[in-house]
Amino acid sequence: MFGKRYSGLLTDLYELTMAAGYVGTDGAAGFTEARATFELFMRSLPARRNFLVAAGLEQALDFLGNVRFSGEEIAYLRGLPLFRNVSPRFFDYLAQFRFTGDAWALPEGSIFFAEEPLLRIRAPIAEGQLVETSLLSILHFQTLIASKAARLFSAAAGRPVIEFGSRRAHGSEAGVLAARAAFIGGCAGTSNALAGHDFGVPAYGTQAHSWIMAHEDEAEAFRSFAELFPQDAVLLADTYDVRAAVEKIIALGRAPRGIRLDSGDILGDSMWVRRRLDRAGWTGVQVLASGDLDEDHIAALLHAGACVDAFGVGTSLVTSADAPHLNVIYKLAEIERGGKARGVAKLSEAKKTYPGRKQVFRFRDAEGRFCGDIIGLEDEEFAGAEPLLAPVLRGGRRVDTAAEGSAAIVCAARERFLLNREHLPKRLLSLEPLQQAFPVRHSERLEALFDQVRRTFVQSASI
């Protein structure tokens, strides 16, 4: 079911009613020419996430570059009673719709924190509004999964983690994109063949219980498979009885690449299997563990001395099961009309947002470690700090015109994550919530701008 379709209807209907308002009611309102700045960020982090890993930008830019409304889709909208009073000019606008704005973003693989824009859009207001829903869903999902993968990477302490979750991802597309995001977040590969094909993520996998069950004799199932895949067979030992299965494998007399344990007492079985393999002289045969694992199980297994060389992790990773969503939002931060820019903000304390076009500035300590971020205005400068948001679209076109393949982009993102991770204060790598979060604050100019917007609102309200 998964494929590319950049329909303009991939949006909440209210983006279309608001766009109709902006495009179809000009004259007095004068919104046709208005440019708006929208920022996409996380209001807060889940309790058990000390940092997030940016992912999904390529798919977001692909969407912005290709989103269109077909004639047939426009006819659907025209037929909705809701749009009965809307001017035909709006439907002409949709027929010619292209995203023509500018965009800045955190490169994929960047480590970031709450309130830091992952993406900033500056575009005619209707355009910025129409792309909201898709930008959120694309960036939210891959960032969610890359950030979960980063926890598994920490838990596995140097052992490879392979993403195995396509079957329980939220649909076919989610499976493929979860594989991409998990790789960026440190996984060594995926079981998803299409993610291997489309994004160059290393694809792994050999046999399931059904292979064993289809044969009347388990030993025969192992033998025929090892013959077909002499260098790569990872044989599944837990269909009936792990120890009996391992004896049958050893009796074949040909060392497989590995043995997989998918259920039962992984700790005890892995120690037994390791000893038995070593006794057979098969010290190079790996033990792979899978079956409803997550970062806590992995950390506990390794702490208890499990003899596992690699982990396969499915459901908990591709659904980010302990935190299946992030508190992601896309907020209007500034509007420019008639040559005048006005910062805008949500004032309610629970959902407060800051006005203005923002940049994230990252500071390092003497050892080069990240030591704090300031969210400031785009044109601010802080000595020694690196601005993290980079331009990615200008006038709707990609800034980087180099034709990098998707595999190269994904590899670069993974390397960026691993490098960012090395520079993170070690305490952030804990799987548990921190007493003290990574220090992120807003700049003084940003705080002043917020106060100014609030004063203006209070004044106009009291008139």
Give every CB contact of residue 132 below 8 A, 6+ residues apart in sequence.
11, 12, 15, 38, 330
Binding of a second copy at residue 371 (CB under 8 A)? no
What is the size of the binding site for a second copy (CB under 8 A)? 121
**Distance of closest approach, residue 173 Cβ to a second copy, in angstroms:** 4
Instruction: Name residues contacting a second copy, limited to 32-71 (CB under 8 A).
Output: 34, 36, 38, 59, 62-63
**Distance of closest approach, residue 196 Cβ to a second copy, in angstroms:** 7
Binding of a second copy at residue 30 (CB under 8 A)? no
Q: Which is nearer to a second copy, 18 or 424 (CB)?
A: 18
> Which of residues 48, 346, 398, 442 is near a second copy by CB under 8 A?
346
Q: What CA–CA distance (Å, rounded) separates 313 from 357?
A: 40
Tally of CA atoms within 13 A in the half-sphere of 376 that contains its CB = 18
Instruction: Name residues contacting a second copy, limited to 90-149 (CB under 8 A).
Output: 125, 129, 132-134, 136-138, 140-141, 144
Q: Residues 153-172 vs a second copy: string with x where CB under 8 A? A: -----------x-xxxxxxx
Instruction: Name residues contacting a second copy, limited to 187-206 (CB under 8 A).
Output: 191-194, 196-197, 203-206
Binding of a second copy at residue 24 (CB under 8 A)? yes
Q: Which is nearer to a second copy, 207 or 420 (CB)?
A: 207
**Distance of closest approach, residue 117 Cβ to a second copy, in angstroms:** 15
> Which of residues 9, 252, 280, 371 is near a second copy by CB under 8 A?
9
For the chain, what's the residue count? 463
**3-class secondary structure, 220:** helix
Strand partners, 235: 259
> Which of residues 240, 352, 422, 448 is near a second copy by CB under 8 A?
240
Instruction: Name residues contacting a second copy, limited to 385-424 (CB under 8 A).
Output: none
Q: Which is nearer to a second copy, 18 or 428 (CB)?
A: 18
Q: What CA–CA distance (Å, rounded) separates 37 from 101?
A: 10
- Interface stretch with a second copy, choices 151-159, 281-289, 348-356, 388-396 (CB under 8 A): 348-356
Q: Which is nearer to a second copy, 260 or 416 (CB)?
A: 260
- Interface stretch with a second copy, choices 280-288, 300-308, 338-346, 368-376 (CB under 8 A): 338-346
Q: What CA–CA distance (Å, rounded) separates 135 from 120?
A: 11
Q: What CA–CA distance (Å, rounded) separates 113 from 373?
A: 9
Return the C-alpha torsion angle 438, 443, 448, 450, nearest 10.
Answer: -50
Q: Which is nearer to a second copy, 91 or 370 (CB)?
A: 91
Q: What CA–CA distance (Å, rounded) separates 279 from 261?
A: 19
Give every CB contact of residue 176 below 8 A, 6+ residues apart in sequence.
2, 166, 192, 194, 195, 198, 199
Give every CB contact of residue 449 below 8 A, 6+ residues apart in sequence.
343, 354, 355, 356, 377
> Which of residues 32, 276, 296, 315 is near a second copy by CB under 8 A?
315
Q: Which is nearer to a second copy, 227 or 278 (CB)?
A: 227
Angstrom distances, CA of residue 291 to CA of 45, 144, 254, 266: 28, 21, 26, 9
